[in-house]
Structure 1
């Protein structure tokens, strides 16, 4: 049986033509939407969500293309663009009765959250991003041998065909690699949750690759257009991330400040999967800002 977040109700919510999202909902109070990263599903929020549900309405979807949400077979640039996925999130919240909500995302989910903040500022009360840089900045700081840590970004940026074939040939090894090397505490992702992540990824190779391919193309175009227009995040923004700058030679806080005038940036010692490794701390950050 696929694990679920204890105490949460599950439903499928239509958010666009032909696309419904799998979503777990619980609690009452001010709403907060939690977006998962790669190679995970909404289950990555299981501890944080249960904590926040004591005083918030908590909404945990699988992003389009991931988990039990729909995976459009068409993988053209707009289908998995962060702009499209951000629109899904806003439509989801509205379908559940929330015109305004706090939004937090990890990894890929944080890139969707970032785009939602730029495209739908009236809907987002505050934004929290865990362990990412905005897409345009991410590509600009990747260089030299230190960038080998991001080999998957370059692999999945290639034209359709080869990346999907390579990953589908050994999906558990590919996705499991990241679950192994990105965690600071292996106990944070128990065997049943790890199995659920791998099962979900195994069934979603084309859509996951399309998500990453969009980040090397249309998502960069959208970020570049916003930068040129001087568009910034209007809401309070909190960013927690590991010290990537020490390895790649950049100032993460400065990069984020260019997008977010009202910024709280913190470098943390947790592994990449911080919501699973330090759920009480992450819930505390989200509650303080919610």
Structure 2
């Protein structure tokens, strides 16, 4: 399926947690930074940002388990697609490439993994960057009333195993295309080749993608609540950049993230959800500001 790649990056299959192998692209030298993609995408979303950062960083971009060309294990337990397990994948990949300490920047689903990596592995994670998402617990808290329709897919994929997979598989291409189109306000963010790449990769991964989302409504939520109750926080520099969801859904992103990260900065951006591809220069600036802290 790996029909498109990031130019000048080396590709390897590297073992993560539980023996799952991950599709990993890496290039550059210097402080390490791991880039994690969102839905419904692959590591390819980072192409422009990764190329720039690799001039003075060791950049690692991978397909999360269940996505792209990474393994898609059966969700035999909730832990298989928990963000804790996916964060362990990231730590093992970085260690395999010789990096015991690294920054991690994630978009959407990948940002949730980045946050969990920072919470679970503070000895390894130097910085956490977040693109266009809220923490798992807070996401569910701010969705209410008719405004929650913007996240209808979260509720669909949170349902028990079986029906969501069948419903999505019946119209898989249309399902994933609806997000690529609705979240791309200019209609020009993706080339036809990249759009087709995302569609093929997602259509081939329906059960694992649903399992990832189902975990966010169960085991991931339980972990967030336990961390909040214990007062656990992200101890490294943290930065978030997002669309202005707060004014639409009635929340303050600085207040929400500040409860998780004392050393936190926030930036709004006038862009669609796929901001790393719509405006890679701005996202690269965001990343470099964070990495300089």
TM interval, short-chain normalised: over 0.9
C-alpha RMSD of the superposition: 0.9
* Cα pair 2:17 2:85 within 8 Å, conserved: no
Q: Which secondary structure state, in structure 2, belongs to the residue aligned with residue 99 of structure 1?
A: coil
CA distance in 2, matches of 1:204, 1:87: 21
Partner Cα distance (1:59, 1:75) in 2: 29
Q: What secondary structure sits across from 1:272 in the alignment?
A: coil
Match of 2:44 in 1: 43
Q: In structure 2, what is the equivalent of residue 61 of structure 1?
A: 62
1:103 aligns with 2:107: no
Secondary structure of the equivalent of 1:232? coil
Aligned to 1:136: 137
Partner of 2:212: 211
Asked if structure 1 preserves the Cα contact closer than 8 Å seen for 2:75 and 2:81, the reply is no
Distance 2:80 2:182 in 1: 30
Any stretches of 5+ residues in structure 2 without a counterpart? none
- 2:254, 2:230 → 1: CA distance? 21
For residues 2-49 of structure 1, what are the alpha-carbon distances to aligned partners after superposition, in whole Å with 9 as ceiling and x for unaligned?
111011011100112330100101111111000000000000001100
Do the aligned residues in 1 keep the contact of 2:75 with 2:211 (CA within 8 Å)? Answer: no
Sort the Cα spacing of 1:75 and 1:153 in 2 relative to 1 into closer, same or farther, 3 A.
farther
Corresponding position: 1:268 with 2:269? yes
Matches within 5 A, 1:1-290: 2-290=3-291
| Paired residue total | 290
226-235 vs 277-286, which moves further: 277-286
Alignment TM-score, normalising by the size of structure 1: 0.98
The TM-score, its normalising length taken from structure 2, stands at 0.97
**Quick one: distance in 2 between partners of 1:253 and 1:44?**
26
Counterpart Cα distance in 2 of 1:114 and 1:265: 15
Off by >3 Å, runs of 4+ in structure 1: none
Aligned partners of 1:83 and 1:89: how far apart in 2?
A: 10
